[in-house]
C-alpha cells in the first residue's frame, strides 16, 4: 500500500501488459520469429536461413534446425558444457570424437547408410563436400526439377533424423539397427509422410 499510495494512472488509460522488446509494446509472433532469427542464425557460420519443408512433420524441421545450429546433444557438445563423461568418442564406430557432423555425416555407419539411400534414389554415390549443404537438397538439384530437389531434400531430412534416432537407441538402449533395416524404415517413413502431405504428387 505504501508503494502504490503515490501512484496514479493517467486518465482514460488502459492497464495492460507491454512487450518491451518492440517499440510498439505489442506482442506479435512474427516479431518474435524475426527477433530469434536475427539473434540466433547469424551466430552460426554454417546457417544463413531457416529451411522449410512441408512434406515432413514439424519434429523433423525442428531436428534439422537444431542440427544446423549445432544444438544436438552429442558427446562433444555435452563435454563443452561441463557434463562429466567417460568418453567423447562416437558410440557407434568408436573411431573419432562424437560431433554432430560426425554422427550425421562422417561416421562409417552414416556413410554406409547415405550410400544405400543414394543408390536407392537411383544415383551413384556422391559425397557431399560440406556439412552445411546437408539438408538443403542440393546434391542432385543441378540435373533435376524443383519437385525432385524437394523430394531429395525430404529424403535427406528423414535419413538424418533416422541416423539420430538410431544413435540415441545405441546410447540409451544399447540397440543398433543394421543399415538395410534403417534404409527400409527411411523408405517407409518417406513414402508415408510425402504421400500424406503432398496429395497432388503421385509416388506410385
Q: Are 110 and 104 in contact (CB under 8 A)?
A: yes
- All three cell numbers of 21, joined, read 522488446
Residue 113 has a pLDDT of 94
Residues contacting 13, CB < 8 A, separation 6+: none
pTM, whole model, 2 decimals?
Answer: 0.72
pLDDT per position as a tens digit, 91-120: 999 999 999 999 998 999 999 999 999 899
Which range, of 40-44, 96-100, 129-133, 198-202, averages the lowest pLDDT? 40-44
What is the grid cell recorded at 143? 540435373
Domain regions of the chain by residue span: 52-197
List the grid coordinates of 108. Answer: 562409417
Model pLDDT for residues 117-136, shown as the tens digit of each residue: 989 988 776 666 677 778 88
The answer on pLDDT for 204 being more than 70 is no
Amino acid at each position: 500500500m505504501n508503494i502504490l499510495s503515490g501512484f496514479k494512472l493517467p486518465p482514460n488509460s488502459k492497464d495492460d501488459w507491454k512487450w518491451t522488446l518492440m517499440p510498439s509494446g505489442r506482442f506479435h509472433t512474427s516479431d518474435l520469429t524475426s527477433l530469434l532469427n536475427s539473434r540466433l542464425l547469424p551466430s552460426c557460420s554454417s546457417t544463413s536461413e531457416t529451411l522449410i519443408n512441408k512434406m515432413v512433420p514439424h519434429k523433423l524441421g525442428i531436428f534439422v534446425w537444431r542440427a544446423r545450429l549445432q544444438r544436438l546433444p552429442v558427446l562433444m557438445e555435452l563435454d563443452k558444457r561441463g557434463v562429466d563423461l567417460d568418453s567423447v568418442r562416437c558410440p557407434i564406430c568408436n573411431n573419432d570424437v562424437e560431433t554432430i557432423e560426425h554422427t550425421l555425416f562422417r561416421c562409417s555407419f552414416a556413410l554406409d547408410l547415405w550410400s544405400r539411400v543414394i543408390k536407392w534414389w537411383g544415383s551413384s554415390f556422391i559425397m557431399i563436400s560440406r556439412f552445411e549443404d546437408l539438408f538443403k537438397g542440393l546434391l542432385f538439384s543441378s540435373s533435376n526439377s524443383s519437385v525432385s530437389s524437394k523430394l531429395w531434400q525430404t529424403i535427406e531430412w528423414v535419413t538424418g533424423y533416422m541416423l539420430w534416432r538410431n544413435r540415441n537407441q545405441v546410447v540409451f538402449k544399447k540397440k543398433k539397427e543394421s543399415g538395410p533395416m534403417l534404409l527400409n524404415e527411411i523408405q517407409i517413413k518417406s513414402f508415408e509422410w510425402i504421400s500424406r502431405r503432398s496429395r497432388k504428387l503421385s509416388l506410385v
